[in-house]
Structure 1
Amino acid sequence: METRMDPIDYRLLDDWQRKFPIVSAPFAKLADTLEVDETEVLKRLSLLCSAGRISRIGATCAPNTVSASTLAAISATPNEIERVAAVIGAEPGVNHSYLREDTWNLWFVVTGPDREHVNATLARIEGISGHKVLDLRLVRPFNVDLGFRLRTQDRTTMPLTKRTVDMDCMQDGDKDILQCLTRGLPMVSRPFAAIAAQMGRAEQDILGRVSSLVHANVISRFGIILHHRALGWNANAMVVWDISSDAIDIAGPALAAVPGITLCYERTPVQDVWPYRLYSMIHARDRAEAHEILSRATALPCLQSIAHKVLFSTHCFKQRGAMITRQIGDAA
């Protein structure tokens, strides 16, 4: 079913998923563009957040640069799903957790300040849940910059651009700034001043560092981050492909460019358990539309004879920003 919003809400969500203004009063700049006042913009965004249509306004970072992460999975019996999902969700380093249609049915992303932290999180989940955890590490991304066009007829994803991350730009204190941005900007007139006050720094200092991190592509996307289900994108499937690493050189970029493929990356397989190397996500309004997108992918010459598996998501247990810095009281 189509989610109803008025034109101003659509413009907010469509136009500011990227390139959110890095200025002292960003919401006032949005208001000028929309020809409304700043109070109206803040009210609308707050209501969209309360309605679950927006996750946050903030940053996503290039994977495995300022922090470590991995995709993981557990195979739980139907009567164990809620218990095991609660074990997974209790970990602060878990920022996404979904139920998918497969024997390996609980899928989650673990993030942390370093790989040691991620390993410790996986070990705790495995020990407490009593289930083997698949650790499916990222090898290379082809498209991890998730964004949706809401007002176009075909709802194609936003254009892909090849970007090089310059980690030499990082300075002391930047990870703390990034942690604030991944949690989300405060919904106040001067959100960067609020972050600066929290960190005991000057507003212009924070604005300068955020601009530098965006320019260096450490921040891969800065803007409004949507909850796609609440906006009518209800048929979401992870499609995994059993393809050799060498063949991914061609297949990965080709798959990432298919309209409707919203994420695409290579991950390590697990010998004798999980052979899949190439991953893609489809976010669609219904399953028929999702299968149409998949048909476009399977028609690619590089994928026509490649075995694949489709895992539709049926429930979201957790969705939040990534953990970048170690939290007080965290286990190592």
Structure 2
Amino acid sequence: MARHDHAHDLPLLNAWQRGFPLCPAPFDVLGQALGRPAGEVIAACERLQRAGVLGRIGGVFAPGAGGAGLLAAMAVPRERLEAVAAAVSRHAGVSHNYERENTLNLWFVANAATPAALEQLLAQIERDTGLAVLRLPMLRPYRIDLGFDLGQRSAAAGGMTRTAATPVAAHEAALAALAEHGLPLVERPFDAWAEALGQRTEDVLGTLSRWLAQGTLSRFGMVVRHHEVGYTANAMTVFDVPDDEVDACGERLACQPGITLAYRRARAGRWGYNLYCMVHGQERGEVLALVEQAALQAGVARHRHEVLFSLRRFTQRGPRRFAAAHPTPPEAPRHA
């Protein structure tokens, strides 16, 4: 869907990617800020979810908050790409699955409750497809999923990712699974979560606030599917940086205009790249220009690098690091 189709909703989507009100009646707060009745805001969220623009309203957990996950890549013969992509996407633990411009042409993010379960998932994909899966675990985040300004032609994010997150305690994992799943679109959604968990609403809100304060959650708010609002030229750039320089380079890269994600990953076999970044934009040319400028400013342009544009999106959904341990999140009762 073209971005202009949702111009009326951009203030709702943009302002509440972070800082979603952690209070009993959050849609009242949104409505007051936007000059719209709460019921109208809820109806808009329902419509945006149906259109695929709004993935969910919920938590984005920081790396290290719990569970296990990594980026994976496969070199798939072109004639098998759609079938292999479908086989990969069938796994509930696969949250993102894209075709990219490279010999390694299928890239996906896999999540599980434990490292052993994650390896089991990847091994199953290898058995099912007869193809090797390149495992690229994250070693350090510099900027991860903090949301970005939807009002710009190219995405510009604010803030930096903390290097370490406080993990979710075992007795709080059921709430984490609900936060991954997303808020019910009702007037008092946190009441519904509290009822499902057998807790008080103030305790649920207190836990979410604590997770944000201690860095367990990167953010809590609107999780927007950026392709649907016009950011269709998305590129992952990978750099081969000496290990003793990569953290300094990564921190500089994460601060550059247009960089929405930046992180260090393990090298794997012949894939000798260890620094990754993402740029989301509307046109290929402007994305390439942003990548070039960011690389120059961060001092990494001289290092070997490749730009991998996404060609097709096979899967994009929320990760299931906690839902894997709670396969069916407690049903949140709907209230009028």
TM range (shorter): over 0.9
Matched residue, 1:160: 159
Shift of 1:55: 1.1
Matched residue, 1:264: 262
Q: 1:304 aligns with which of 293, 301, 306?
A: 301
SS of the residue 1:221 aligns to: strand
SS of the residue 2:3 aligns to: coil
Q: CA RMSD in A?
A: 2.0
Q: Does the 8 Å CA contact 2:154/2:287 hold for their aligned counterparts?
A: no
SS of the residue 2:132 aligns to: coil
For structure 1, the residue ranges without an aligned partner over 5 or more in a row are none
Q: Does the 8 Å CA contact 1:148/1:155 hold for their aligned counterparts?
A: no
**2:199 pairs with 1:201:** yes
Matched residue, 2:181: 183
SS of the residue 2:297 aligns to: coil
Equivalent residues in 2 for 1:213-292, closer than 5 Å = 213-271=211-269, 273-292=270-289
Q: Cα 1:101–1:279, aligned 2, differ >3 Å: closer, same or farther?
A: same
Supply the distance in 2 between the matched residues of 1:28 and 1:164 (Cα, whole angstroms). 35
Supply the distance in 2 between the matched residues of 1:260 and 1:31 (Cα, whole angstroms). 30
Supply the distance in 1 between the matched residues of 2:161 and 2:310 (Cα, whole angstroms). 29
Shift of 1:145: 2.4
Matched residue, 1:56: 56
Q: Does the 8 Å CA contact 1:175/1:324 hold for their aligned counterparts?
A: no
Q: Does the 8 Å CA contact 1:237/1:311 hold for their aligned counterparts?
A: yes
- The one-letter amino acid of 2:302's match is S
Matched residue, 2:71: 71
Supply the distance in 2 between the matched residues of 1:277 and 1:171 (Cα, whole angstroms). 31
Q: Cα 1:99–1:318, aligned 2, differ >3 Å: closer, same or farther?
A: same
4+ runs of 1 displaced by more than 4 Å? 5-8, 327-330
SS of the residue 2:292 aligns to: helix
Matched residue, 2:25: 25
**2:121 pairs with 1:124:** no
Supply the distance in 1 between the matched residues of 2:121 and 2:169 (Cα, whole angstroms). 27
Q: Does the 8 Å CA contact 2:155/2:280 hold for their aligned counterparts?
A: no
Shift of 1:257: 1.1
- The one-letter amino acid of 1:285's match is Q
Supply the distance in 2 between the matched residues of 1:189 and 1:301 (Cα, whole angstroms). 46
Supply the distance in 2 between the matched residues of 1:157 and 1:127 (Cα, whole angstroms). 40
SS of the residue 1:299 aligns to: helix
For structure 2, the residue ranges without an aligned partner over 5 or more in a row are 329-336
Shift of 1:283: 0.5
Shift of 1:167: 2.2
CA deviations on 1:252-296 (whole Å, 9 max, x unpaired) are: 01111111111000101113x201100011101010111110120
TM-score normalised according to structure 1 size: 0.93
Q: Cα 1:87–1:26, aligned 2, differ >3 Å: closer, same or farther?
A: same
Q: Does the 8 Å CA contact 2:25/2:189 hold for their aligned counterparts?
A: yes
CA deviations on 1:126-149 (whole Å, 9 max, x unpaired) are: 111110000001110110124221
SS of the residue 1:44 aligns to: helix
How many residues are treated as equivalent by the alignment?
327
CA deviations on 1:141-198 (whole Å, 9 max, x unpaired) are: 110124221224x655232235365527x44431111111111111111111111222
Supply the distance in 1 between the matched residues of 2:128 and 2:94 (Cα, whole angstroms). 15
SS of the residue 2:231 aligns to: coil
- The one-letter amino acid of 1:260's match is G
Supply the distance in 2 between the matched residues of 1:319 and 1:11 (Cα, whole angstroms). 23
